[in-house]
Structure 1
Amino acid sequence: MTHYLRYLPNVITIGRMIAVLPLMWLMWQKAYTGALLIAVVAGISDGLDGYLAKKFNWQGWLGGVLDPLADKMLMLGCYTVFWLQGVVPWWLYLLIIGRDAVIVLGASYYHFKVGKIARATPTMISKINTVLQILLLWVLLISYSGLVDMFAAHKPIMWLVALTSVISGIHYVWMGLKMKARQRAQEVA
């Protein structure tokens, strides 16, 4: 039985992935209090699966892929609904999606055309951007649920998300070009 417990973090992560659909549906129905509840449970589950994986050394390749994928699915789902509802402006939505596309496409290009990427490690500006994206989603869900009036915070946080998305995207492109140049220099030497 204990052998099977090592898969518990992945099961929790898969549950978080499944939660994306009811979360998006509740948001689309403007049942923001229910959506907020699912978002809170998803946030707790994200912390729990990471804690269990590290505490009991249950980390693995699959969990390393599923966990960030689940997080991206949740954020993409929430931002898509808020964009379609007109809550998030189109330009911010495109910046958020565009940044992720640049990172994934750039990493894929590098991995298949230049050299293997040993380990993907987020940069500090990327971590700040992710925190701001999550903060914006929380503030929007709390505001639209009617629990707390946080509407005045929307625009400033949106601008911070936009700024850090641009900086983070440019930084990843710069790092990729630098890695490519270093790889080419090693091949010549």
Structure 2
Amino acid sequence: MNVPNMLTMSRFVLIPLFLFFYFNDQTITALSIVLVAGLTDFLDGYIARKSGQVTVTGSMLDPLADKLMMLAVVVALLIKSVLPLSAFLVMAFRELVMIIGSAIYHFRGLKTVPANLFGKVTTILYYVAILLLFLELRGGVTVFWCGIVLSFLTSVIYFMKFKSINQTTT
């Protein structure tokens, strides 16, 4: 267990904390927890790459922690009617397909594709949308939909790269 993996694991602990504070009407505390989770996401990858501590475990747990945190936030926003059901359904569908697909590829021993610039921009858009939604500022739902559209485009790019690196020469 190295520092990047501990940071990743902390995000799993932050999920119930976020939910507790959000549903007890402590929105700013809940938002702070989401932002801390985002910071740990950045830090764990940065530290792992810079210090040569990239692990298979971290490579699997990091995206899972990110997706579960994002799904928890989106479900919470949906329950409180801050986010429309349509946005939740489309985003949740894509995230669940990515989680299941990544697990299947991993357990079949296939090479996976690391995050790219589009994936990082998608994440930033989601965090901006969450910030706007939590602070009840205009444009939150629109920015969220922009993140959803970009996430699907990113998925197509990931799939094409995945297919390319896993093709066998005959």
Alignment TM-score > 0.5, same fold: yes
Residue 138 (structure 2) aligns with: 152
Residue 160 (structure 2) aligns with: 175
TM-superposed CA distance for 1:77, in Å, is: 0.8
Task: Supply the AA of the counterpart residue of 1:57.
Answer: G
| SS of equivalent residue, structure 2 residue 139 | helix
Q: Give a deviation string over 1:32-91, Cα, whole Å, max 9, x none.
A: 111122223223322332333223222211111222222112111101100111111111
Could you tell me which runs of 5 or more consecutive residues in structure 1 were left unpaired when the two chains were aligned: 1-5, 145-150
Report the CA distance shift for 1:109/1:42 in structure 2 as closer, same or farther (over 3 A). Answer: closer
TM-superposed CA distance for 1:92, in Å, is: 0.6
Among 109, 119, 122, the alignment partner of 2:112 is: 119
Larger RCO of the pair (alpha carbons < 8 Å, separation 6+): 1
Q: Does 1:97 align with 2:92?
A: yes
Calculate the aligned-residue CA RMSD, in Å: 2.9
- Contact 2:132 2:138 (C-alpha < 8 Å) held by counterparts: no
Distance in 2, matches of 1:174 and 1:60, equals 22
Residue 63 (structure 1) aligns with: 58
Distance in 1, matches of 2:159 and 2:43, equals 34
Residue 9 (structure 2) aligns with: 14
Q: Give a deviation string over 1:4-27, Cα, whole Å, max 9, x none.
A: xx6122122212210110101211
- Contact 1:17 1:70 (C-alpha < 8 Å) held by counterparts: yes
- Contact 1:140 1:154 (C-alpha < 8 Å) held by counterparts: yes
Identity of aligned residues (%): 26
Report the CA distance shift for 1:81/1:111 in structure 2 as closer, same or farther (over 3 A). Answer: same
Distance in 1, matches of 2:133 and 2:111, equals 37
Moved more, 22-31 or 75-84: 22-31
Could you tell me which runs of 5 or more consecutive residues in structure 2 were left unpaired when the two chains were aligned: none
Q: How high is the TM-score relative to the length of structure 1?
A: 0.73
Residue 81 (structure 1) aligns with: 76
Q: How high is the TM-score relative to the length of structure 2?
A: 0.80
